[in-house]
Structure 1
Amino acid sequence: MKEIIQQGLQQIGDHSSITEIRQVSGGDINQAFYVQTETKEYFMKGNQNVPPHFFKAEADGLELIGQTNTISVPAVQYYNEPEQGAPGILIMDWVTGENRANTPEMLGTRLAQMHRHEVSAYGLNQSTFVGTIPQENEWCETWTEYYRNYRLRPQMELAVQKNRLDQNRHQRLDQLITQLEGWIPEKPSASLLHGDLWGGNWMAGPDGEPFLIDPSIVYGDPAFELAFTELFGGFPDPFYKAYQETSPLPDNYDETKPLYQLFYLLVHLNLFGETYGPSVDRILARYVG
């Protein structure tokens, strides 16, 4: 691994000696390392079992978020696009800091500001990943079209392949997907979304400055992003208050929230199994009986 790291650092012009390499947390999918050279500190991810564009998708997402000048992200220094089975790496600046009293408020305000960066269609022009699951994307004229055909239906089909759906669950899920226009807005704002914003994908940097990490970007309904933040926790009340003050959520948010959480629950059902099945069933029972 040290040799691979050295090769990456040479690509960005850091030819100084490596003084420390240590494995750090944050490597559920990838190996993660703190790397210090004589001139700089880096955070590096590595993996041999991902598609060639795995780290490119993450780097592109961080760059796009950074270009909004709303919320901080780690600066990407280098990534490669290896052949299948060869080591892939992503090198970023090392970010360190600690939460301060106003960090959650800053996070809420700046996320809302990021969501004001909009385009005229829904989706994305490249594939990304949700965890290790490939996420195919295309541009769609309506949000319901994108959410049905590129989010819910592919997860349903994958769940069938993995035998995660009994007949009753499968029928109700298919019915809900077919009737999606009854609950999901057709044309909300097509906002830049982080796309995988759970509590482990934001952190505090210098002076408590919030940073977003590990994006799976998409352009879509901001309520989709906020719904996921509520699914597993990790976002305190001042975050939501600050977001609402900057960009109020629609009146029907509580009605659409479970449907947006359904996508992430299906992802977890496919990744981790039946532990998430009862949560899927509760949402299906609410909307299609």
Structure 2
Amino acid sequence: MKEAIERALDHLGDHSPITAVEQVSGGDINRAYYVQTQAEEYFIKGNEHVPAHFFRAEAYGLSLIKETNTIHVPKVHYYDEPENGEQAVLVMDWIEGGSQSADGERLGHELARLHQQQANEFGLGESTFVGTLEQPNEWCSSWLDYYREFRLKPQLTTAIAKDRMAGSRRSKLETVISRLEEWITHEPKPALLHGDLWGGNWMTGPDGPYLIDPSVLYGDPAFELAFTELFGGFPSSFYKTYEETSPLPPHYEDIKPLYQLFYLLVHLNMFGEGYGRSVDQIVTRYVG
């Protein structure tokens, strides 16, 4: 990793001596480092077990969010796209974190403003990643078509290939997928979403909340909010100010499990049967 860090710093033009390299928490997927030179402080992620465009997708998502001027994201200095399983790196600003509880209210307001940034269609024009799984995206005029074809069906296919989708689980999920229109009856606007917003993917910086590790798409804001409730990590003030700025659909509580289903399928496919029971509970709720 040392050589990859030195190569990245050389590419972005920081030739000053490196004064510190410390491995820090960076999630379950990448190795992450605090790197200090005489000129700057950086947060550098590395991984040699991902496709070449893995960090390009993350950098693209950060750039889309940054362009909205609604909420902070780390500045991206450099990323590479090496072939043949070589070490890939992403270099960003180092953000000194603080207490999340202090910024919940502001996060809710700023995320709602992000969701007010809209496109003409749902989806995205290129693939991204959710966790380590590649997320195919196409532009779709219908949210339900996008959610069915590019979110639920690919996870179903992956789960079948991993032998985690058989018997009644498979039949019930296939039924849910075919009948989405019965429960998701509102017509959302294509809003810019972070796409992977659990409690570990936002932080408090010196000038307010920051979003990190996006998997962006244009979709239903309720899809984003449903995931924030799945694993916790968001104070009550976040939801209060979000809904003051951008109310959720009246039947949100009825469709929330359908949106959480996607992320539970992702976790089933990435981490195994520990998430199977949660998937079963949701599909059974809708089709018995």
Confirm or deny a common fold (TM above 0.5).
Answer: yes
Partner of 2:163: 163
Partner of 2:118: 118
- Aligned equivalents of 1:35, 1:185: Cα separation in 2: 49
Rate the CA distance shift 1:215–1:155 in 2: closer, same or farther, 3 A: same
Give the secondary-structure state (helix, strand or coil) at the position aligned to 1:91.
strand
Instruction: Indicate the larger mover: 98-107 or 236-245.
Output: 98-107
Question: Could you tell me the percent identity over the aligned residues?
Answer: 61
Rate the CA distance shift 1:249–1:156 in 2: closer, same or farther, 3 A: same
Residue pairs, 1:1-289, within 5 angstroms: 1-99=1-99, 102-185=102-185, 187-207=187-207, 209-289=208-288
Is this contact kept in 1: 2:100–2:203, CA < 8 A? no
Instruction: Indicate the larger mover: 123-132 or 276-285.
Output: 276-285
1:186 CA drift (Å) = 6.2
Q: Residues 230-280 of structure 1: CA distance to partner in whole angstroms, max 9, x if unpaired? A: 000000100000101110111010111000000000111111111111111
Give the secondary-structure state (helix, strand or coil) at the position aligned to 1:276.
helix
- Aligned equivalents of 2:213, 2:3: Cα separation in 1: 25
1:84 CA drift (Å) = 2.7
Is this contact kept in 1: 2:228–2:234, CA < 8 A? yes
- Aligned equivalents of 1:192, 1:261: Cα separation in 2: 18
- Aligned equivalents of 1:180, 1:100: Cα separation in 2: 35
1:185 CA drift (Å) = 3.9
Q: Residues 93-121 of structure 1: CA distance to partner in whole angstroms, max 9, x if unpaired? A: 00013126640001000000000000110
Is this contact kept in 2: 1:49–1:84, CA < 8 A? no
- Aligned equivalents of 1:111, 1:159: Cα separation in 2: 32
Q: Where does the alignment leave 5 or more consecutive residues of structure 1 unmatched?
A: none
Paired residue total: 288
- Aligned equivalents of 1:122, 1:183: Cα separation in 2: 19
Instruction: Indicate the larger mover: 182-191 or 15-24.
Output: 182-191
- Aligned equivalents of 2:273, 2:97: Cα separation in 1: 37
1:147 CA drift (Å) = 0.3
Amino acid at match of 2:136: E
Rate the CA distance shift 1:42–1:144 in 2: closer, same or farther, 3 A: same
- Aligned equivalents of 2:210, 2:10: Cα separation in 1: 27
Give the secondary-structure state (helix, strand or coil) at the position aligned to 2:72.
coil
- Aligned equivalents of 2:262, 2:84: Cα separation in 1: 28
- Aligned equivalents of 2:40, 2:52: Cα separation in 1: 27
Q: Where does the alignment leave 5 or more consecutive residues of structure 2 unmatched?
A: none
Runs of 4+ in 1 over 6 A off after TM superposition: none
Give the secondary-structure state (helix, strand or coil) at the position aligned to 1:63.
helix
1:285 CA drift (Å) = 1.1
Is this contact kept in 2: 1:143–1:185, CA < 8 A? no
1:286 CA drift (Å) = 1.1
Is this contact kept in 1: 2:101–2:235, CA < 8 A? no
Amino acid at match of 2:137: N
Is this contact kept in 2: 1:142–1:186, CA < 8 A? no
Give the secondary-structure state (helix, strand or coil) at the position aligned to 1:119.
coil
1:26 CA drift (Å) = 1.3
- Aligned equivalents of 1:23, 1:101: Cα separation in 2: 25
- Aligned equivalents of 2:102, 2:248: Cα separation in 1: 21
CA-based RMSD of the aligned residues comes to: 1.1
Amino acid at match of 1:140: C
Give the secondary-structure state (helix, strand or coil) at the position aligned to 1:95.
coil
